[in-house]
Amino acid sequence: MGRFRKDPDPRFWRLNRSLPFDWQLAIYDIDQSIAHARGLKGIGVLEADELSQIEAGLERVRVRMGAHGFEFEGADEDIHMAIERLLGEEIGPLAGKLHTGRSRNDQVATDVAMVVQNHSLSAIELCGAAMERLLTLAESHADWTMPGYTHLQRAQPVYLGHHLLAYFWMLARDVVRFQLALDSAGVMPLGSGALAGVNWEIDREAVAADLGFAHVSHNSIDGASNRDFVLDYLNAASICAMHLSRLGSEIVIWSSSEFGFCELDESFSSGSSIMPQKKNPDSAELLRAKSPRVAASYQTLLGVMHALPLTYGKDMQEDKEPLFDAIDTVEACLDATAGMLEGIEFDRERMEAASGDEMLAATEVADLLVRRGVPFREAHGIVGGLVRDAVERGKSLSELTPEELCERSEHLDDSYYEVLQRSSWLESKRIAGGTGSAPLAKQIEEARETLAAVQARAREERA
């Protein structure tokens, strides 16, 4: 460039050059450049035939970059400079008019916002697909019982459908967060210039409409320095990946021989190179392990932006690798989740046997005492004593005799033995949001409505 007499030192170039990763912005940068050129034509900076030449030239550049064996030049600093050079090769000096009224600062912010919009929507679509699988499984396993856990200790029995829907609602909240990222990336920075705005009164609203942005930024300083929309995406992606890690972790545990609650399809499992009998739940393990990497991307960009003086700083070039890596990771995880849930098989007998443990009825007995007027805390202590008696005497709870019950409380009569009938433990959870079949049926209804709304909105946004 004109100001410089020296070429960049290779050691600086290696650090500074963003092309090795920002080539992924190419398609967005070309779309943006076409819209910008139209904006320039709108204020008479470009003649109609110049605009057509630029548009056609950019389309040829798009094709060239997509061709097998295409290579950038070592002197191309970033994707924006590379595309400008390639356009020059196509249409000559006219290419130099394209950068009128635009800085790479607002250009790169706009490209990245386009990436975030596109991939927030992809994430919503993928969440929708995984939610659909979960809902289908919940419907077909609505009355299968399993133990619910706290501290990974058997706690209270629940229906498998209820447990699966817990993941449905996590993903439904992820959709809300990705929608927030989609909306916050819907504000176009282009027109902010380097930081102060530009000297050309381009119709920003028209350019924004052309590119699918809902709004234009209010303030050029904020426009050039804002990366909140990337952070919004990374926040949504981190939480989503964390949710999938919990699902993955449960599937790993459930598919062990010790639990034997479920089995993954072969197409989502791997064998061992040495032990021929092995069928490992690798897909679920990787869901578990991919999550911290997405959170690290979020942390990285938050660190880059921390205390960064306004407006643009080259630091902000470091927004792309965390974003691209998080996109690849979370999309792969969501896609694999939906696939993995297609072929999963649950073992009804194993789950039911594990949930038949009478100790899981301890809370039911305590509530029986409460119905007889005993304060819950006291009832809790009484039942704790019964559990101790049973354990010490090598009996199950229902094997305790009426006399033994009397030692603990005068309120324990034959109803005690009825309460221990497992059929009542789940159906007594009739409260809204509980595992009982009535609230579960209602929940399934609500989930179906939620899913339909998510899918309809996604289709609308995509169109």
Name the burial class of residue 273, with classes exposed (0-12), middle (13-18) and buried (19+) by CB atoms within 10 angstroms of its CB. Answer: exposed
106 is a contact residue toward ligand ARG (CB under 6 A) = no
- Residue 380 designated active-site: no
In contact, 60 and 30? CB cutoff 8 Å: no
Nearer of residues 260 and 313 to ligand ARG, judged by Cβ: 313
Q: How many residues bind ligand ARG (CB under 6 A)?
A: 10
If one asks whether residue 105 binds ligand ARG (CB under 6 A), the answer comes out as yes
Report d(CA 148, CA 41) in Å as an integer: 65
Task: Give least dist CB 205 to ligand ARG, A.
Answer: 24
Q: Are residues 116 and 157 in contact, defined by beta-carbon separation less than 8 angstroms?
A: no
Interface region with ligand ARG, contact rule CB under 6 A, candidates 114-122, 215-223, 295-303, 311-319: 311-319
* Least Cβ distance, residue 25 to ligand ARG (angstroms): 8
Rule CB under 6 A: choose which of 22, 29, 31, 232 binds ligand ARG: 22
What's the DSSP call for residue 197?
-
Strands 345-346 and 187-188: unpaired
Q: How many Å apart are CA 340 and CA 264, to the nearest integer?
A: 7
List 151, 257, 273, 306, catalytic entry? 151
The reply on whether position 316 binds ligand ARG by CB under 6 A is yes
Query: Which residue of the set 256, 270, 272, 398 is catalytic?
Result: 272
Residue 462: CB minimum distance to ligand ARG, A: 27
Instruction: Using the rule CB under 6 A, give the single segment among 68-76, 100-108, 253-261, 280-288 that binds ligand ARG.
Output: 100-108
Least distance in angstroms from the C-beta of 316 to ligand ARG: 5
Distance CA 434, CA 449 (A): 19
Burial class (CB in 10 A: 0-12, 13-18, 19+), 4: exposed
Query: What are the CA-CA distances from residue 446 to residues 318, 427, 460 (Å)?
Result: 42, 20, 21
Q: In the complex, what is the shortest distance from the CB of residue 314 to ligand ARG, in angstroms, rounded to a whole number? A: 6
Q: How far is the CB of 51 from ligand ARG (least distance, A)?
A: 25
> Minimum distance between the CB of residue 125 and ligand ARG, rounded to whole angstroms?
27
317 scored as a contact of ligand ARG (CB under 6 A):
yes
303/343 with CB nearer ligand ARG:
303
Site residues (CB under 6 A) for ligand ARG, limited to 62-91: 78, 80
Q: Which of 104, 246, 380, 422 is the binder for ligand ARG (CB under 6 A)? A: 104
Which residue in the set 159, 312, 416, 425 belongs to the binding site for ligand ARG (CB under 6 A)? 312
For the chain, give the longest Cα–Cα distance.
101
Alpha-carbon span 355 to 427, nearest angstrom? 14
The dihedral built from the CA positions of residue 275, 280, 283 and 287, taken in this order, carries a sign that is negative
The H or E element that residue 150 is part of is strand 145-150
Among 18, 192, 283, 297, binds ligand ARG (CB under 6 A): 18
Q: Which stretch binds ligand ARG (CB under 6 A): 62-70, 102-110, 203-211, 230-238?
A: 102-110
- Catalytic residue flag (residue 256): no
Strand 145-150 and strand 153-159: the pairing is antiparallel
Contact 100, 40 (CB under 8 A): yes
- Can residue 29 be called a binding residue for ligand ARG (CB under 6 A)? no
190 lies in the binding site for ligand ARG (CB under 6 A): no
Taking alpha carbons only, the member of 182, 164, 350 closest to residue 251 is 164
Question: Of 77 and 183, which CB lies nearer to ligand ARG in the complex structure?
Answer: 77
Within 10 Å of residue 178's Cβ, how many Cβ atoms? 29
Q: Which two tokens stand for residue 430?
A: 């009739």
Q: How many other C-beta atoms can be found within 10 angstroms of the C-beta atom of residue 354?
A: 18
Interaction between residue 164 and ligand ARG (CB under 6 A)? no
Tell whether residue 108 is a contact of ligand ARG (CB under 6 A): yes
113 binds ligand ARG (CB under 6 A): no
- Active-site annotation, residues: 151, 272
Contacting positions for ligand ARG (CB under 6 A): 18, 22, 78, 80, 104-105, 108, 312, 316-317
